[in-house]
Structure 1
Amino acid sequence: MHTLASRLRRLPPSCGPVRLVGVDGHAGSGKTTFTARLAEALGGAPVLHLDDLATHEELFGWTGRLLRDVVGPLGRGQDARYRPYDWHARDFGGARTLPAAPVVLVEGVGAGRRAVRPFLARLLWMELAREDAWERGMRRDGSTQSDFWDGWVRAERQHFAEDPTKPFADLLVRQLPEGYEVLPGPAVTST
């Protein structure tokens, strides 16, 4: 993990002075856990969870909020401020600050979407088959979330059919029994 962190720190900035790094993959693929470990290896890099920008009504309709509230200020070298969505209250909460640090991680399904890629220094894809990832996510969330997952699976399929991420990934990340394996992604191997 420290080798990857070192590589990311050495990248040229991609969003103003910030190296914005996207961590994408299917729901349940391990993005949040991996990103937390990567943030730690980066000395506490700030993390934006796209679940904080999505809503029940707009599972993938958060692009405008991301560009306006996060990418815009970071691109100007300013801290970003956004209001995270509360999935239980079904409303946006109080504002949070995302510092304009040397490396900022953005994790979630769609982190590497077309509108975001121009601002990314690197795009990482969590390499786990979608059915395996979804099964893992459903197990994690339990039966009370089964209706949500039914809608989610349809929405995620549609999202990646219209705006795929994996073909543009610089790196593929595979979870191993102990740690992670980081491999060149399709964007690197196809050039």
Structure 2
Amino acid sequence: MDAQEVAAIVGETRRRAGRPVVVGVSGFGGSGKSTVARWLESEVEGAVRMRGDDFLDPSRSHRRSSDWDGVERERLARDVLVPFRERRDSTFRRYDWALRALGEPEPVPRGDVMIVDLIGLFHPATAPALDLRIWCDVDLATATTRGRARDAEIGRDHEQLWQEIWVPNERDFVERFDPRSMADVRFTGSVPGVPKTGA
């Protein structure tokens, strides 16, 4: 399935729902989630993006966990995804990576489609708030290679984290929740004009 077909499915999901919808984009670290989400935001009319990294607690995401404990799924669903779908006014707080604390409250954006990209997103805590699930279908070894290369390119030394924390966390999460099987769409293509590098 190519990127344009995925965009068409997103649009059809919105038309059928008759209300704002939430599209979850997930996959392993380095699989291209953010790249796909950014492209969909630009391609789908009325789309807004919620960056998954704004709902990561680094103190927890940098330690071993069988369910990606550092992903604050409950807060994401409660404060952002459900109010967006219901067209309710709500505020949320992004994680400020510079301050290493939650930032100031800000309003949940309005739109027809919210695209959220995040590791560990296809989980029972968020499943009821997702109208369409897109899995970036890249195997763990390939995604990890891409993620490490991306980190090296921007000067981040995360080699120990990849080896000792993130890859084992991914394996455990797959074993517990099988997120690939929860996907409505398994995306194996590339985004137009963007090489397959990972995000």
TM-score range for the pair, normalised by the shorter chain length: 0.7 to 0.9
8 A Cα contact 1:46 1:98, kept in partner: no
**TM-score (structure 2 length as normaliser):** 0.78
CA distance in 2, matches of 1:177, 1:109: 19
Evaluate the alpha carbon distance shift between residue 43 and residue 51 of structure 1 in structure 2; reply closer, same or farther with a 3 A threshold.
same
1:148 to 147, 150, 161: 161
Contact 1:78–1:99 at 8 Å: present in 2 too?
no
* Residues 48, 109 of structure 2: 8 Å contact kept: yes
Matches within 5 A, 1:45-84: 45-59=47-61, 60-61=68-69, 62-84=72-94
C-alpha distance in 2, partners of 1:74/1:176? 28
Q: Residue in 1 aligned with 2:22?
A: 20
Q: Secondary structure at the match of 1:144?
A: coil
- Is 1:158 the counterpart of 2:172? The answer is yes
- AA aligned opposite 2:124: R
* Matched pairs, number: 178
Question: Counterpart amino acid of 1:148?
Answer: L
Point out which structure has higher relative CO (alpha carbons under 8 A, 6+ apart).
2
Distance of aligned partners of 1:104 and 1:113 in 2 relative to their CA distance in 1, 3 Å threshold:
same
Structure with the higher strand share, 1 or 2: 1
**Distance in 1 separating the partners of 2:21 and 2:53:** 21
2:129 maps to which of 103, 119, 131: 119
User: Partner of 2:144: helix, strand, or coil?
Assistant: helix
Quote the Cα distance in structure 2 between the aligned partners of 1:103 and 1:122: 10
8 Å Cα contact 2:22-2:85 kept in structure 1: no
The residue number in structure 2 matching 1:184 is none
User: Normalising by the residue count of structure 1, what TM-score does the alignment of the two structures yield?
Assistant: 0.81
**CA RMSD between the two structures:** 2.4
Contact 1:78 1:100 in 2 (8 A): no
Q: Read off the aligned partner of 1:144 and give its amino acid letter.
A: D
Q: Which runs of 5+ in 2 are unaligned?
A: 62-67, 195-199
Alignment of 1:168-179 (within 5 A): 168-176=182-190
Deviation at 1:97, TM superposition (A): 3.3
SS at match of 1:23: strand
Deviation at residue 124 of structure 1 after TM alignment: 0.6
User: How much does 1:75 deviate?
Assistant: 3.8
Alpha-carbon spacing, 1:177–1:103, altered in 2? closer, same or farther (3 Å): closer
- Select which of 99, 107, 132 maps to 2:117: 107
Mapped partners of 2:120, 2:177: distance in 1: 8
Does the CA contact (< 8 Å) of 1:55 and 1:87 recur in 2?
no
